[in-house]
């Protein structure tokens, strides 16, 4: 688990990051926007992985923190603060709320914790719908950014990329550190983890806080770019669901998994949107069903198995996955 990366892995990651950084010099604004969306979803998936993947506490809170960050940026930018300052506020507020909420709800196990996070996400949405400071159901406007479409696109792309890199690096370092091992131990057997000397309460809270900070910042970037927010847009539980499904697709609890899942999923979703605008949710739903049935442990696991058994057995591996969880 979490063994050192081979030179090949370093090369791939390095090339990927470099590619993302120079992307805007080689493509049109449309493509850059698409990649920005991919990065945004990747941030949600990576963040979910801290609490859901590594620690085994599936959370629906990414949407809550995303919306929180979005509205924080909106409210504070209207009050005159600079964009990046509001991102810091969003991150701080997200962490604070994760800490405060985390203490009571992280005592819950399994589905109860998941439901509590669902309740939190929905509660935030209802609040945003009804409070004056958020503009209620009418929404809230943000100050517009000054600059032409090229500047506009690149500014937001690089902002999102920055947050994504932060999220990815955090995940990398957590898994290289004792904390990462502790989180996995909690997932595998919480009682045994406590008995081995792991302060499970502290670690769970750390994971939950980490899972809140980056969605909040991502939400802030989204808000500034959209220039207008409605509660239903940013507190959409679909964000949380996508984060979970993408982590599943890539491989829950792995370092590269959420990233991989996010890229593939978002690419497919974008393709579906352009081909079947009317019905793309149907196809998305179908893909979700197929992933749960045939790739429940993620593509990383499938690759590993294929490497052992030979790539010809790919079909067999998918079928084997479906047999594993049957009645």
Q: How far is the CB of 213 from other proteins (least distance, A)?
A: 21
Residue placing its CB nearer to other proteins in the complex, 124 or 224: 124
Contact predicate 321/297, CB 8 Å: yes
Q: Which is nearer to other proteins, 106 or 142 (CB)?
A: 106
Residue of 30, 139, 140 lying closest to 77 (CA atoms): 140
Tokens of 183: 């989180």
SS3 call for 146? coil
Which of residues 15 and 192 has its CB atom nearest to other proteins in the complex?
Answer: 192
Q: From CA 320, how far away is CA 209, in angstroms rounded?
A: 37
> What is the smallest separation between the CB atom of 28 and other proteins, expressed in angstroms?
31
Within 8 A by CB and 6+ apart from 136, the residues are 128, 129, 130
Measured from the CB atom, the residue of 8 and 326 that comes closer to other proteins is 326
**In the structure encoding, which two tokens stand for residue 28, read together?**
């049109």
Output the smallest distance, CB 326 to other proteins, in A: 5
Quote the DSSP letter at residue 229.
Answer: E
Q: Give the max Cα distance, the chain.
A: 60
From the CB of 177, what's the least distance to other proteins, in Å?
8
Is the Cβ of residue 59 or residue 153 nearer to other proteins in the bound state?
Answer: 59
Task: For residue 124, give both structure tokens.
Answer: 């935030």
Q: How far is the CB of 119 from other proteins (least distance, A)?
A: 4
- Which residues contact other proteins by CB under 8 A? 1-2, 58, 104-105, 108, 110-112, 114-116, 118-120, 122-123, 126-127, 129-130, 136, 176-178, 181-182, 184-185, 188-189, 191-200, 241, 244-245, 248, 278-279, 281-282, 284-289, 292-293, 296, 322, 324-327
Minimum CB distance to other proteins, residue 317 (Å): 16
φ, ψ for residue 227 (rounded to 5)? 65, 0
Helices (H), 79-230: 83-105, 110-130, 149-176, 178-188, 190-196, 200-226
List the beta bridge partners of residue 229: 140
- Minimal distance, residue 308 CB to other proteins, in Å: 13
Please say which residue, 220 or 257, places its beta carbon nearer to other proteins.
257
Question: Nearer to other proteins by C-beta: 52 or 220?
Answer: 52
Which of 39, 114 has the CB closer to other proteins?
A: 114
Distance CA 229, CA 232 (A): 9
Least distance in angstroms from the C-beta of 165 to other proteins: 23
Handedness of CA 81, 84, 88, 91 (dihedral sign): positive
């Amino acid at each position: 688990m979490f063994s050192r990366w081979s030179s090949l892995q370093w090369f791939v990651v390095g090339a990927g990051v470099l590619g993302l950084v120079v992307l805007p010099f080689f493509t049109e604004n449309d493509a850059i926007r698409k990649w920005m969306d991919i990065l945004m979803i990747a941030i949600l998936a990576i963040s979910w992985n801290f609490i859901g993947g590594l620690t085994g506490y599936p959370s629906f809170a990414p949407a809550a923190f995303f919306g929180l960050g979005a509205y924080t940026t909106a409210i504070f930018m209207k009050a005159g603060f600079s964009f990046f300052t509001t991102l810091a506020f969003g991150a701080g507020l997200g962490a604070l709320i994760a800490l405060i909420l985390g203490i009571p709800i992280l005592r819950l196990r399994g589905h109860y914790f998941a439901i509590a996070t669902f309740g939190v996400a929905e509660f935030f949405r209802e609040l945003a719908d009804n409070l004056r400071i958020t503009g209620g159901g009418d929404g809230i406007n943000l100050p517009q950014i000054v600059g032409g479409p090229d500047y506009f696109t690149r500014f937001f792309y690089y902002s999102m990329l920055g947050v994504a890199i932060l999220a990815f690096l955090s995940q990398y370092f957590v898994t290289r550190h004792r904390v990462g091992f502790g989180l996995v131990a909690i997932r595998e057997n919480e009682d045994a983890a406590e008995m081995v000397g792991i302060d499970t309460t502290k670690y769970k809270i750390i994971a939950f806080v980490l899972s809140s900070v980056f969605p909040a910042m991502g939400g802030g970037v989204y808000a500034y770019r959209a220039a207008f927010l409605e509660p239903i847009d940013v507190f959409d539980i679909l964000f949380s669901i996508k984060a979970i499904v993408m982590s599943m697709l890539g491989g829950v609890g792995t370092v590269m998994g959420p990233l991989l899942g996010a890229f593939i999923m978002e690419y497919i979703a974008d393709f579906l949107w352009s081909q079947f605008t009317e019905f793309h949710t149907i196809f998305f739903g179908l893909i979700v069903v197929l992933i749960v049935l045939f790739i429940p442990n993620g593509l990383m696991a499938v690759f590993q198995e294929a490497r052992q058994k030979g790539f010809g057995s790919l079909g067999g591996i998918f079928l084997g996955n479906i047999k594993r969880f049957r009645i």
